[in-house]
Amino acid sequence: MKLNSKIPEGPLENKWRNYQVQSHLINPTNKKKLSVIVVGSGLSGAGAASTLAELGYDVKCFCYQDSARRAHSVAAQGGINAAKNYQHDGDSIYRMFYDTLKGGDFRSREANTYRLAELSAPLIDHFVQQGVPFAREYGGTLDNRSFGGVQVQRTFYARGQTGQQLMLAAYSQLYKMVRAKKVEMFPRSEMLDLVVIDGKAKGIIVRNLVTGELQRYAADAVVLATGGYSRVFRLSTLAIGCNGSAVWKAHKKGAFFGAPSFTQIHPTALPQSSEAQSKLTLMSESLRNDGRIWVPKEIGDTRLPNKIPEEERDYYLERRYPSYGNLAPRDIASRAAKERIDAGYGIGKLKNAVYLDFKHAIEKFGLKTIKDRYGNLFNMYQKITGIDAYKEPMQISPAAHFSMGGLWVDYELMTTIPGLYAVGECNFSDHGANRLGANSLLQASVDGYFILPNTINNYLATESKADHPSIDHPEFGKAEQEISEHITRILAINGTKTVDHFHRELGRVMWQECAMSRNKAGLEKAIREIKQIREAFWKEVKVTGKHNEMNPELEKALRLADFIELGILMCTDALEREESCGAHFREEFQSAEGEALRRDEKFAYVSAWEYDKGDFKLHKEALEFEFVNPSVRSYK
């Protein structure tokens, strides 16, 4: 199968318009007869579901939480980027496009990245209209701040709760359409399989998490908006329920997986403090606007941080990257922290952290300003650690955070299965090998609100003439049967180890070999070990309770079974890519100064993996740079 990215003709700035002019329209009467399933109610899912419903389609929307409002978009703190140039600091669509492409180390498509920047300004208009209480200046205009990896102020924010406010706006609009009876909402429902009929996506199998019942839903198109899969590392900044099951099942049914190993490790999370830890809390990157990162110059310095004089502190980001300093992009900041920690300079109980210090900012701007800017983050820090960060530096550490990888999609956000779309974090599209801070709320939102509702017509226009699928089709029966057997098999193992035991094992291997720094031998070992974990899981796991009841342990087991398989693919992808780019750092490919060595001559492509009976086959989408010249990424 040849990958067709369907990039429209014309100069960058006309591509999206050209696309819209040429795409099919469907008349309102026909739209009413067409139905769309949206799996996920985060920014991308809720945005897509409500907008598709406004356009007249009949929409069913699913999420695993008890309410659509709780999708993990709610946890984003820092902000959302847009090229409004309100600060008059020289920002533009082109600059934002270039920053994003460069931030991703030239491993994403020009056309997609440009469209992301182009739609950013109207998105802010949209959210303001929906009542998002963004931060404002005294004069009443919108305020901005800056985020890592860029030199302009283009980030819009609502205190430290930007994701929550955007999410609640999206949820409001979703419920507006629930009230209009155009969206039917199914909370506490987990998609366990995709149903493909004659090569096209026509429905899903869902487990009702209250009753355990397996249910069938059919539609003319299926949209996955299921978020990131970084819980494959177990410890991450994601919610406990975040999973890779929906995309994994779609992958097994034929959707190619794009750049699965590209994972962002965030530099400023709270360090792990015990084995029992279930998640790592993120401290917003915006803190790096005013906080300075350092470790002691001497290994094993046991003095309290405030007792260490200035000249004995190593502000290593400022030292290594003088022009960006503490605002270096995430991949670079995380790797630099890992370098210091591995070299023995780590601080804290487990020597696994670095300091983030506000002393100078408080001296310069006053306590009140810092409280205004970050009050709720400092409160959160105190609640979790018991430490007052106005008085002593925070301790922070890198944590798995964001999946740049995801289902491969073309310019229309359609996967390689006709009629199956992927939006938001679960697709691979705009961020390349590293995502810039505050760009993914943006991507999830424009995917859902602006792009998909324009592109899905193109497909549905042809489907409107076809028969509408029925849940009585044998493919539904087959898929349901397979899931039912899968569940029975897990419950029957009755071994001696818990699901969490295996998840910890998987997380350990993935974190060691497939996170901030990777190498051939390590990845080969990881693949072997994960296969052993898979074998052990299927022999020794123990899950109590029944299939036909609310059973949180079974939910965890089903998610983990998919994570294990996904972990193998991630390591396979990381092994295949013999270069360093963005967050993907292969130790064999680095410069003399320890910076990433990209190899455009061989690896300027998006890897797109096809599932092949338990094995994976690589396809390559060549990345052609028509408008910019991929430079060596430098933040020095």
Partner 1 sequence: MKVIFKIWRQEGPNEKGTIRDYEVDGLNEDMSFLEALDHLNELLVLKNEKVIAFEYDCREGICGQCGVFINGRAHGPHDNITTCQLHMRSFKDGDTIVVEPWRAASFPVIKDLIVDRSALDRIIEQGAFITAKTGTAPEANSILIPKETADRAMDAAACIGCGACVATCKNSSAALFTAAKINHFNSLPQGKAEEHKRVAEMMFQMEIEGFGSCTFTGACEVECPESISITNIAEMNARYVKSKLLK
Ligand X SMILES: Cc1cc2nc3c(=O)[nH]c(=O)nc-3n(C[C@H](O)[C@H](O)[C@H](O)COP(=O)(O)OP(=O)(O)OC[C@H]3O[C@@H](n4cnc5c(N)ncnc54)[C@H](O)[C@@H]3O)c2cc1C
* DSSP string computed for 128-186: HHTT----B-TTSSBP-B--TT-SS--EE-STT-HHHHHHHHHHHHHHHHHHTTSEEEE
C-beta closer to ligand X: residue 225 or 394? 225
C-beta closer to ligand X: residue 26 or 59? 59
> Cβ–Cβ contacts within 10 Å for residue 176, how many?
15
C-beta of residue 247 within 8 angstroms of C-beta of residue 260: no
Q: Is 216 among the residues known to form the active site?
A: no
C-beta closer to ligand X: residue 230 or 464? 230
* Smallest separation (angstroms) from partner 1 to the CB of 157: 11
* Residue 225 contact, options ligand X, partner 1, none, Cβ 5-8 Å cut-off depending on partner type: ligand X
* Smallest separation (angstroms) from ligand X to the CB of 11: 28
- Residue closest to ligand X (Cβ): 42
C-beta of residue 100 within 8 angstroms of C-beta of residue 431: yes
* Smallest separation (angstroms) from partner 1 to the CB of 377: 11
Residues that bind ligand X (CB under 6 A): 39-45, 62-65, 71-73, 75-80, 162-163, 190-191, 225-228, 237-238, 243, 245-246, 282, 401-402, 424-426, 438-442, 444
Estimate the share of the chain in helix, then strand, then coil, as percent rounded to the nearest 5: 40, 20, 40
C-beta of residue 126 within 8 angstroms of C-beta of residue 449: yes
How far apart, in whole angstroms, are the C-alpha atoms of residue 474 and residue 472? 6
How far apart, in whole angstroms, are the C-alpha atoms of residue 490 and residue 578? 37
Q: Which of 468, 283, 441 is nearest to 377 (CA)?
A: 283
Distance of CA 564 to the CA centre of its chain: 18
Active-site hit among 330, 373, 435, 518:
330
How far apart, in whole angstroms, are the C-alpha atoms of residue 43 and residue 275? 32
* Smallest separation (angstroms) from partner 1 to the CB of 77: 8
* Smallest separation (angstroms) from partner 1 to the CB of 242: 8
How far apart, in whole angstroms, are the C-alpha atoms of residue 36 and residue 517? 41
C-beta closer to partner 1: residue 131 or 366? 131
C-beta closer to partner 1: residue 432 or 453? 453
C-beta closer to ligand X: residue 245 or 416? 245
* Smallest separation (angstroms) from partner 1 to the CB of 491: 12
488-493's contacts with Cβ under 8 Å and 24+ in sequence apart are 488/547, 489/538, 490/541, 490/543, 490/554, 490/557, 490/558, 490/561, 491/543, 491/546, 491/547, 491/554, 493/538, 493/539, 493/540, 493/541, 493/542, 493/543
| Longest Cα separation, the chain | 75
C-beta closer to partner 1: residue 401 or 518? 401
* Residue 465 contact, options ligand X, partner 1, none, Cβ 5-8 Å cut-off depending on partner type: none
* Residue 44 contact, options ligand X, partner 1, none, Cβ 5-8 Å cut-off depending on partner type: ligand X
- The tokens for 134 are 């963004």
* Residue 614 contact, options ligand X, partner 1, none, Cβ 5-8 Å cut-off depending on partner type: none
* Smallest separation (angstroms) from partner 1 to the CB of 216: 23
* Residue 591 contact, options ligand X, partner 1, none, Cβ 5-8 Å cut-off depending on partner type: none
C-beta closer to partner 1: residue 283 or 606? 283
> Cβ–Cβ contacts within 10 Å for residue 588, how many?
12
* Residue 616 contact, options ligand X, partner 1, none, Cβ 5-8 Å cut-off depending on partner type: none
* Residue 452 contact, options ligand X, partner 1, none, Cβ 5-8 Å cut-off depending on partner type: none
Strands across the sheet containing 257-258: 427-428, 406-408, 257-258, 605-612, 615-622
* Residue 168 contact, options partner 1, ligand X, none, Cβ 5-8 Å cut-off depending on partner type: partner 1
* Smallest separation (angstroms) from partner 1 to the CB of 309: 30
Q: Which residues contact 227 (CB under 8 A, 6 or more apart)?
A: 40, 42, 71, 72, 73, 238, 242, 424, 425, 426
Q: Which of 111, 240, 83, 204 is nearest to 626 (CA)?
A: 111
Task: Give catalytic residue positions.
Answer: 330
